[in-house]
Structure 1
């Protein structure tokens, strides 16, 4: 009886699909031994819905999805349309089997992985380039909004720089993965949404475009190297800071535990990250920070003298 109630509840949720039919809705599913979880999303609004039903109802739900005008796709295609925070949410709980999809090859370095990176690792070069781009964009001069939701504790420019570097790890594995999907740069922003005429990032290279002037999305391996050029990195950093200033802080990167990179970049986690080991003074804005960084030897951890929540590199499944 309980399963029947679940099924009826889900079928009632499918009714809105009739309204979505002309809005380009896609659906996929994760099938397990005794139950199936269906995922549907409006590609225009990115509004998702999901529900788990007994396996016996699998075919009936598929029929209802098709009858309501939605298109059934493979899970990797569904994930390619999803934002990073949606992908992370889908990989939690009972739906861990979808971790085998290409989207989960690597989402971010863990704290230990980050701290153990050798100087010769390409990720360190990307980290240095991102730090330089953010500093060139003005992160050390911007007025800092004191914020402590999700325990991020950002109160000064040094902490703000580190928070953005943490975000870059969580959103793009330090500027490598998920690049170009939906116009995202390494900071997880969607400059395409802010790149229209009269908008914040209009006229910049924050969005890489093809020969026809259209947004150039990444290939399946998400390694669009044109997002790794200095000019594009700089414009993406400028765009991120414009969003930060216009919206009075980091709220565009999440204020709740359900989405956004801020939930993975708390002060506690940030303080464990050895930015000084990898960046030295490049990871600083203030003279005091630079003085401390210049004394750090390989393998030593930077210990802040002020309360500076900063980083939490998202988990790597």
Structure 2
């Protein structure tokens, strides 16, 4: 292995390290995570390196939300650097990873968090994540998900046509927004269904929306649901909080999601491939996620036909 490392360095990586030598000390100095921003026509792309998990990743956002996300990253101690600096530094960090410079896997504010279909389907019912899914399904039922007027929508291949589709789409969305309510990463929306803080703010307060900070001229559509977003005693939102796992908070987060659905269906969770949770929740993906084997007919269904079909297969 040592011989192989020497060959790699001498034949290819060593010249790159010389080119990037002015950045090596910066990168290792504080274990700093960093991102650069690439601006496209349909999306702004954040190319990032996570110093904790030693992995690089890309995050696409709506161009109007670029400044918001930039501030969110910076608030979490992530350096925003130029494209040129990123290209230099990623070489150094990539070499360190190849040479085994030490990168034990672990949690990080930047990690890619949502479950893939096969990962979720492999979980036993006793797993804590599945228990969270069960709790979220209860919250959705209590919030009235099965009583919603179904809006037939097909963007992103979501193909919504029944109350059962609506229920399972909200469950799928909670995967991308909060890893089924297990964490709140403090970017974009809050809580299990990624509710924007402005939705339960009062008129006259400030909120970032449409790419800029504005003063709200009216109460948010979920203003009557004060617990939908976790806030301190002064009304300031708390971006990360275990209170998002509180059943009462999850219920109001779900109730706010129902209000948004009544207005626009699933549009507030994205209608294109550039951003939003719907792009991870096509009908194909939704139907392959095996929610019902854990939820059973009462929590996993809205319609009697679904319940009868599920009971017949038990």
Cα contact 1:137–1:237 (8 A) shared by 2: yes
Distance in 2 of aligned mates of 1:112 and 1:48: 35
| Structure 1 residue 100: Cα displacement | 9.1
Shift of the 117–242 alpha-carbon distance from structure 1 to 2, 3 Å rule, reads same
Distance in 1 of aligned mates of 2:107 and 2:135: 29
Q: Give the unaligned 5+ runs of structure 2.
A: 1-35, 40-45, 51-58, 81-89, 95-104, 204-218
| Structure 1 residue 195: Cα displacement | 2.9
| Structure 1 residue 276: Cα displacement | 1.3
| Structure 1 residue 142: Cα displacement | 0.7
| Structure 1 residue 135: Cα displacement | 1.0
Q: RMSD of the TM alignment (CA)?
A: 3.7
Distance in 2 of aligned mates of 1:178 and 1:164: 16
Find the counterpart in structure 2 of residue 264 from structure 1: 280
Shift of the 228–274 alpha-carbon distance from structure 1 to 2, 3 Å rule, reads same
Count the aligned residue pairs.
223
Does structure 1 residue 275 correspond to structure 2 residue 291? yes
Cα deviations by residue, 1:92-141 (Å, 9 ceiling, x for unpaired): xx9997x9992343411110111111111111111011111111111101
> Which of 101, 105, 112 is the aligned partner of 2:111?
105
Shift of the 176–142 alpha-carbon distance from structure 1 to 2, 3 Å rule, reads same
Distance in 2 of aligned mates of 1:163 and 1:150: 12
Find the counterpart in structure 1 of residue 230 from structure 2: 208
Q: Give the unaligned 5+ runs of structure 1.
A: 1-9, 14-26, 32-38, 51-69, 81-93, 219-223, 298-317
Distance in 2 of aligned mates of 1:128 and 1:169: 13
Could you tell me the TM-score, scaled by structure 2's length? 0.62
Cα contact 2:184–2:244 (8 A) shared by 1: no
Find the counterpart in structure 1 of residue 306 from structure 2: 289
| Structure 1 residue 76: Cα displacement | 5.1
Shift of the 194–211 alpha-carbon distance from structure 1 to 2, 3 Å rule, reads closer
| Structure 1 residue 233: Cα displacement | 0.6
Shift of the 203–79 alpha-carbon distance from structure 1 to 2, 3 Å rule, reads farther
Distance in 2 of aligned mates of 1:284 and 1:28: 40
Does structure 1 residue 47 correspond to structure 2 residue 66? yes
Cα deviations by residue, 1:9-38 (Å, 9 ceiling, x for unpaired): x9xx9xxxxxxxxxxxxx99769xxxxxxx
Distance in 1 of aligned mates of 2:278 and 2:48: 29
Cα contact 1:200–1:242 (8 A) shared by 2: yes
- 3-state SS, counterpart of residue 175 of structure 1: coil
Could you tell me the TM-score, scaled by structure 1's length? 0.61
| Structure 1 residue 245: Cα displacement | 1.0
Cα deviations by residue, 1:218-260 (Å, 9 ceiling, x for unpaired): 1xxxxx221111111110011011111122x111111111111
